Amino acid sequence: MNDVLVQAYESALPEYERLRDAAVAVTNALLQSSGLNIHHVTGRVKRPASLADKLLRKPGRYGALDEVTDLVAVRVITYFESDVQAVSRLVEERFDVDWAHSIDKSKMHDPDRFGYMGVHYVVRPLGHGPADAAFEDHPFEIQIRSILQHAWAEIEHDLGYKNREAVPREVRRRFYRLAGLLEMADEEFMTLHRLSKDYAATLPERVHDAPDSVYIDVQSLQYMLDVDPVRDLDTRVAAALNVLLLTGWPDPERPQRLAGLLQYVGVHSVGALQKELRRHGPEIVQFAALLMPRLRETWTPAGGARPGTSIVHFGLMRACANPALDPREIVSLLDMTGVLSTAQLISTVRDTYAEATGRRAG
């Protein structure tokens, strides 16, 4: 019987591979519509040799391929343990769950449990969409783990330890300790994530009430790019150049680069940045209007002025005015290398600064 099932599976393997692709597509679509930030989603089809091993280990349990619920599996890896539960709720809403074969492995053990695992569902689509027709009567498995749960499971699998009895007594305690550490790490990462979201949510109020107490970092810079005085000066620079301000420019690293630039030139708080931009606004616009046409190679491919262009030019002016600052560090922070050499960039910036302000660069 086992050989018959394995042969039937090998013959139907292309069909199961199509099922895998459809299952991954449906799962990805579900997660994208939810807005959850997921690390990655993968799918796999059980190897015929693995199926043969399973049938040998569990003789008489399976009479048909549809009774083997893990021939196709989708694995969802989340960043945080809390997202495992969020994905679980989505799966329970979107799919017909075979509860007899689905388990939350994190709830299977005592508090001092051996192992650190996620949630496994055996599912069929509910049949609400045209894509669900691809599944017909085939179940498939959805495994949901956080990154740390995934790391534990992969290492545990590589070591060959399937259960408590498989682990030598002298190393079992270390497994318990490691499981506890990983759970604590997952909780700490969730706390950091929550604190980061809370920090971002309170930025508008804090910037309004006490800007000097708000430090320059990626999140505060991201917020400042959308408000005055940064947005006003960016708009004025774009107008002076007769180009668009690319408010939707997709550059996730830009706030980080701008934050690094401001920290390097000695501006450490939002309040200080606001004061400097308001004090030197006209000079910044004049300097940018002179410099950007001379460095078209560095920005023309974008098709306009990027958000934070006023901060960039303020930083360049500050570097020119302070001989203690290394212009090469500014070029590196802003990732301005490319068509022009670093020496050409520095020379052009210095000459433009002298023309715009009547002062020699330091």
In a domain, 232, yes or no: yes
Look at residue 76 in the predicted model and tell me its pLDDT: 96
pLDDT at residue 112 tops 60: no
Model pLDDT for residues 172-213, shown as the tens digit of each residue: 778 777 777 888 888 898 899 899 999 999 999 999 999 999
pLDDT at residue 110 tops 70: no
In a domain, 29, yes or no: yes
Same domain, 177 and 322: no
More confident residue, 360 or 91: 91
CB environment 348-357: b (16+ within 10 A), e (fewer): ebbebbeebb
Same domain, 158 and 261: no
Q: How confident is the model at residue 135 (pLDDT cuts 50, 70, 90)?
A: low
Question: Do 146 and 118 form a contact (C-beta atoms < 8 A)?
Answer: yes
How many C-beta atoms lie closer than 10 Å to residue 57's C-beta? 8
Look at residue 111 in the predicted model and tell me its pLDDT: 45
* CA gap 14, 134 in Å, rounded: 13
The mean pLDDT value of the chain amounts to 86
In a domain, 98, yes or no: yes
Per-residue pLDDT, averaged over 50-55, amounts to 88
More confident residue, 107 or 265: 265
pLDDT at residue 289 tops 60: yes
- The mean-pLDDT minimum among 148-162, 208-222, 285-299 falls in 148-162
Question: Do 156 and 182 form a contact (C-beta atoms < 8 A)?
Answer: no
pLDDT over 70 percentage in the chain = 89
In a domain, 282, yes or no: yes
Going along 126-236, which residue ranges are E strands?
140-146
Q: How far apart are the first and last CA of the chain?
A: 85
Distances (CA, A) of 232 to 225, 242, 288: 10, 15, 14
In a domain, 75, yes or no: yes
pLDDT at residue 58 tops 60: yes
In a domain, 199, yes or no: no
Look at residue 150 in the predicted model and tell me its pLDDT: 87
Look at residue 132 in the predicted model and tell me its pLDDT: 52
Q: How confident is the model at residue 114 (pLDDT cuts 50, 70, 90)?
A: very low
Residue range of the domain that includes 285: 211-357
Look at residue 128 in the predicted model and tell me its pLDDT: 52
Same domain, 176 and 219: no
More confident residue, 219 or 134: 219
In a domain, 193, yes or no: no
Same domain, 153 and 239: no
Same domain, 168 and 238: no
In a domain, 200, yes or no: no
What is the number of domains present in the chain?
2
Same domain, 153 and 238: no
Look at residue 116 in the predicted model and tell me its pLDDT: 53
Same domain, 127 and 26: yes
For 9, which DSSP code? H
More confident residue, 97 or 297: 97
Q: Which of residues 185, 220, 236 is at a domain's end?
A: 185
Handedness of CA 23, 127, 6, 15 (dihedral sign): negative
Same domain, 115 and 216: no
Q: How confident is the model at residue 163 (pLDDT cuts 50, 70, 90)?
A: low
CATH number at residue 10: 3.30.460.10
Q: How confident is the model at residue 295 (pLDDT cuts 50, 70, 90)?
A: confident
Look at residue 171 in the predicted model and tell me its pLDDT: 76
More confident residue, 225 or 157: 225
Q: How confident is the model at residue 310 (pLDDT cuts 50, 70, 90)?
A: very high
pLDDT at residue 350 tops 70: yes
Look at residue 358 in the predicted model and tell me its pLDDT: 81
Same domain, 249 and 320: yes
pLDDT over 90 percentage in the chain = 48
Same domain, 297 and 172: no
Find the Cα–Cα–Cα–Cα dihedral 63, 68, 71, 75, rounded to 10°: 180
